[in-house]
Amino acid sequence: MDTFLQNCLNGLSIGSIYALIAIGYTMVYGILRLINFAHGDIFMMAGYFMIICMTDLMIPWYISIIIVIAATIVLGVVIEKVAYKPLRDAPRMSIMISAIGVSYLLENLATYIFSAQPKSYPYDKMGFLSRRVTLGNISTTLVTFITPVLTVAIVLGLVVLIRKTKIGMAMRAVSRDFETSQLMGVRINAVISFTFVIGSGLAALGSVLYFIPRSSVYPLAGSLPGLKCFVAAVFGGIGSIPGALVGGFLIGLSETFVKGSATLSQFSDVITFLLLIVVLLVKPTGLFGEKIKEKV
């Protein structure tokens, strides 16, 4: 029973981190129809930014988090301006290849600057976040409790932003039809940049929450979580933010429970990808996705 509860808690926690990253994928895909392959690497870079801030520059953790989020947002927006914007009229395959190129560049850049060896994450200096909490027989860090609550709050906030505000309306318009919304006076470049701001900011936040319990960062640390988060986004229905949350929770829970069982533990990622294939075949639009009509 205790292990069950512990697994539930860990699953919810990792699942909500997946959800935070999946939101970045799902929003970018919703607007640009692009799988941002570099998103996982942006997440990895945020981990390194945190190490620079706290270990090298000795900045306290609460200020570091803000700096890291800001730096990651800048990185994400610069990538969009340099690598995706010039290809806006190009075929979709070109822009996807460009995203893959960015991902390759970021991984090599991280290897160059920080070396391929894992760097230890300043997880023990995170103030109350890394404090250990004991509830009954369950012992865990406080951040494990905070993560799901924070994520649900952020998702609610985003849903309100998209439903009620002007920029949210613009985002919905752009995701529906690029050209028409441009004709209606929506500044699509600003809207796209804003999407990347939200996506990268959440990736940075996710990275802080992800690396505290894991304690080391390496240049390829973002690629597998990135793929899994995309799976989560597809699972929930690409383009839908509550979908990303549900998808993230489901992937996180299933992964944690599979890892908990002795025989299957090494196949947890296999099961995640099999889940993806099954979802794509049975319900390609995901749980909450909208059906996209195919034009001849």
Partner 1 sequence: MTKRAKKTSSIIALAVIAALIVCVGQFVPRSGSQWSNLRTVLQLGVIYALVAVSMNLCNGFTGLFSLGQAGFMTLGAYAYAILTIPVADRPGVYYLYGVAGWLSNLHLPIVVALLVAGLMAAALAAIIGAPVLKLKSDYLAIATLGFAEVVRIVVASSPLNLITNGSLGLTKIPGFSSYYGIFIVAVVCIVIVVLLINSSYGRAFKAIRDDEIAAEAMGINLARHKQMSFIISSFFAGIGGALMAMYMGAVSSTTFTIAVTYFILLIVVIGGMGSITGSIISALLVIAAREWWLRPLDQAQYIGSFQVPLLKAGFRMVVFSIILMAVVLFFRKGIMGDKEFDWDVVANFFRRLFHGKKPKTPAVGGDAE
Number of residues counted as binding partner 1 (CB under 8 A)? 48
Residue selected from 12, 107, 162, 217 as contacting partner 1 according to rule CB under 8 A: 107
Binding mask 127-166 for partner 1 (x = CB under 8 A): ----------------------------------------
- Selected from 52, 59, 70, 105, the binder of partner 1 by CB under 8 A is 105
Give the single-character DSSP code of 185: T
Please state the φ and ψ torsions of residue 49, each to the nearest 5 degrees. Answer: -55, -40
CA angle 181, 201, 14 (to 5 degrees): 115
Q: Give strand pairing partners of 268.
A: none
- Shortest Å distance, C-beta 85 to partner 1: 10
232-261 positions binding partner 1, by CB under 8 A = 234
Among 87, 138, 142, 159, binds partner 1 (CB under 8 A): 87
For partner 1, the binding residues in 215-234 under the rule CB under 8 A are: 220, 223-224, 227, 230-231, 234
Can residue 287 be called a binding residue for partner 1 (CB under 8 A)? no
For residue 116, which phi and psi values (nearest 5 degrees)? Answer: -75, -15
- In order of 80, 114, 210, 281, the CA distances from 58 in angstroms are 30, 17, 21, 50
Q: Which one of residues 60, 66, 78, 112 is an interface residue with partner 1 (CB under 8 A)?
A: 112
Q: Say how many residues make up the chain.
A: 296
Minimum Å gap between C-beta 158 and partner 1 is 23
Question: In sequence order, which residues have a C-beta less than 8 Å from that of residue 235 and are 6 or more positions away?
Answer: 243, 246, 247, 250, 251, 275, 276, 279, 286, 287
Candidates 127, 160, 277, 283; binder of partner 1 (CB under 8 A) is 277
By CB under 8 A, the residues from 17 to 56 that bind partner 1 are 33-35
Question: For residues 178 and 188, is the Cβ–Cβ distance under 8 A?
Answer: yes
Among 83, 138, 142, 146, binds partner 1 (CB under 8 A): 83
275 neighbors 265 (Cβ within 8 angstroms): no
Using the Cα atoms of residue 196, residue 199, residue 202 and residue 207 in order, give the sign of their dihedral: negative
Query: C-beta of 148: minimal distance to partner 1 in Å?
Result: 26
Rounded Cα–Cα distance for residues 98 and 42 (Å): 15
- Smallest distance, partner 1 to C-beta of residue 17, A: 19
3-state secondary structure of 134: strand
Q: Footprint of partner 1 on this chain (CB under 8 A)? A: 33-35, 82-83, 86-87, 90, 92-94, 96-98, 100-105, 107-109, 111-113, 115-116, 220, 223-224, 227, 230-231, 234, 266-267, 269-270, 272-274, 276-277, 280-281, 284, 296
